[in-house]
Amino acid sequence: MAQFGDYQNEIYFGGLQGTTPRFPITSADLERAASAALPPSVWSYVAGGAGDEHTQRANAAAFGRYGIVPRMLVGATQRDLTVDMFGLRLPTPVFLAPVGVLGICAQDGHGDLATARAAAQTGVPMVASTLSEDPLESVVGALGETPGFFQLYTPTDRDLAASLVTRAEASGFAGIVVTLDTWITGWRPRDLATANFPQLRGAALANYLSDPHFFAGIDGGREAKPVAIIQHWASIFGNPLTWNDLPWLRSLTELPIILKGIVHPDDARRALDGGVDGIYVSNHGGRQANGGIAAIDMLSDVVDAVAERAPVLFDSGVRSGTDVVKALALGATAVGVGRPYVHGLALGGTAGVTHVLRSVLAEADLLMAVDGYADLATLREAGARRVGAGG
């Protein structure tokens, strides 16, 4: 059985042999180093959120309100962190949340491939964004045996949306994550101040430019140049889906469909009644709507509403293995890491992302060991204690 905590030994022994760890260990140190490594406009895109970023800060701070109660004399020398989800057996309950425009965060411009290689090395599934600099077929190729999910931003053109889903299914993705909360981008002061979006759009078009259905909807047909396409961004990027669109979405694929951006328990119930296969609790890391509740504070309510009918994925504010364990104790089936792996990517490409994932997994595994939880079912049964208004 894999013991992820062994990564701690690698770092210690590396240290004993005189090799200082190549990357920072804590998420705060990783963030600081990444902010120095990336150009300011790229950093503003990665780090920024909506409004004064209150919700973004609240997402991370709210984890401080929950605590795990340790159990003794259990001897949890072997831990089982495996998860069954959508017919897949996964080695860990962690996944890579979808991050668009990863290309600008990697030195060679291929951040999507670098991240997919880290997923392949660790067995941590990747949710690959629609907005990538590497086409989805090459991303799934780099994933090897590790499962990938394709995240769909539903374009206005339905044929293009259907084509992206068909391509994702044909190329071997294990599911479609449909993001609901970003059909239009929120009020993001840092990006507004750097007038960032033209740069982002240019680096996010690989899936569109490689799709025959894309050009049909663009002035100039097949001759359209990326610059013209960039000018059309607002009309092609996002389609505000409604409940009426669920049957259409369902008709596009046999793959599991997971709705990302669900926060209200009633929305979770209605989505499952409408035939989707998974619920993904997230407020997009506070990048879309400021003034919202921390995502982790809604997790148990959604888990109760789902009532074991489907897996519940979670992200927003996860910064450490401890946060992963808390989200699992609150009922998440799997937990998404977002910004921290982008920091790793900025610092060291595939090696940097792998380091972040291994650190998060090692900390989670060690916490389970020290707290006496040998598997996720026992942890979930024990739950996390709400410890007050902290955070």
Ligand X SMILES: CC(C)CC(=O)C(=O)O
Ligand Y SMILES: Cc1cc2nc3c(=O)[nH]c(=O)nc-3n(C[C@H](O)[C@H](O)[C@H](O)COP(=O)(O)O)c2cc1C
Q: What are the residues binding ligand Y (CB under 6 A)?
A: 45-46, 59, 97-100, 129, 131, 151, 179, 260, 282, 284-285, 287, 315-318, 338-339, 342
Q: Name which of ligand Y, ligand X, none residue 185 binds, using a CB cut-off of 5 to 8 Å depending on partner kind.
A: ligand X
Residue reference for tokens 């990517």: 345
Which tokens is 2 given?
């894999």
Q: Which of 203, 154, 161, 162 is nearest to 180 (CA)?
A: 154
Q: Name which of ligand X, ligand Y, none residue 46 binds, using a CB cut-off of 5 to 8 Å depending on partner kind.
A: ligand Y
CB 126 within 8 A of CB 149: yes
The CB-of-282 to ligand Y minimum distance in angstroms stands at 4
284 a catalytic residue: yes
Q: Candidates 101, 229, 276, 356: give the one binding ligand X (CB under 6 A).
A: 101
Q: Which of 134, 71, 56 is nearest to 101 (CA)?
A: 134
Q: Name which of ligand X, ligand Y, none residue 305 binds, using a CB cut-off of 5 to 8 Å depending on partner kind.
A: none
Q: What is the largest CA-CA distance in the chain?
A: 71
Can you give 292-359 as a three-state secondary structure string? CCCCHHHHHHHHHHHCCCCCEEECCCCCCHHHHHHHHHCCCCEEEECHHHHHHHHHHHHHHHHHHHHH
The residue among 86 and 153 lying less far from ligand X, judged by its C-beta, is 153
Q: Which one from 213, 284, 343, 355 is the annotated catalytic residue?
A: 284
The residue among 354 and 372 lying less far from ligand Y, judged by its C-beta, is 354
185 binds ligand X (CB under 6 A): yes
The CB-of-16 to ligand X minimum distance in angstroms stands at 41
Q: Is 342 annotated as a binding residue?
A: no
Give the type of residue at 327: A
> What is the rounded CA–CA span in Å between residue 50 and residue 41?
16
Nearest residue to ligand X, scored by beta-carbon proximity:
100
> What is the rounded CA–CA span in Å between residue 156 and residue 152?
12
DSSP secondary structure string for all residues of 76-119: --S-B--EEETTEEESSSEEE---TTGGGGSTTS-HHHHHHHHH
The CB-of-186 to ligand Y minimum distance in angstroms stands at 11
How many amino acids of this chain bind ligand X (CB under 6 A)?
Answer: 8
Q: Which of 38, 163, 181 is nearest to 98 (CA)?
A: 181
Q: Name which of ligand X, ligand Y, none residue 111 binds, using a CB cut-off of 5 to 8 Å depending on partner kind.
A: none
121 binds ligand X (CB under 6 A): no
Which tokens is 345 given?
């990517």
Q: Is 317 annotated as a binding residue?
A: yes
The CB-of-388 to ligand Y minimum distance in angstroms stands at 23
The CB-of-367 to ligand Y minimum distance in angstroms stands at 18
Cα 320-192-129 angle, rounded to 5 deg: 50
List residues near ligand X by CB under 6 A. Answer: 100-101, 131, 182, 185, 200, 284, 287
Binding-site annotation: residue ranges for FMN: 98-100, 129, 151, 179, 282, 315-319, 338-339
Binding-site annotation: residue ranges: 45, 98-100, 129, 151, 153, 179, 188, 260, 282, 284, 287, 315-319, 338-339
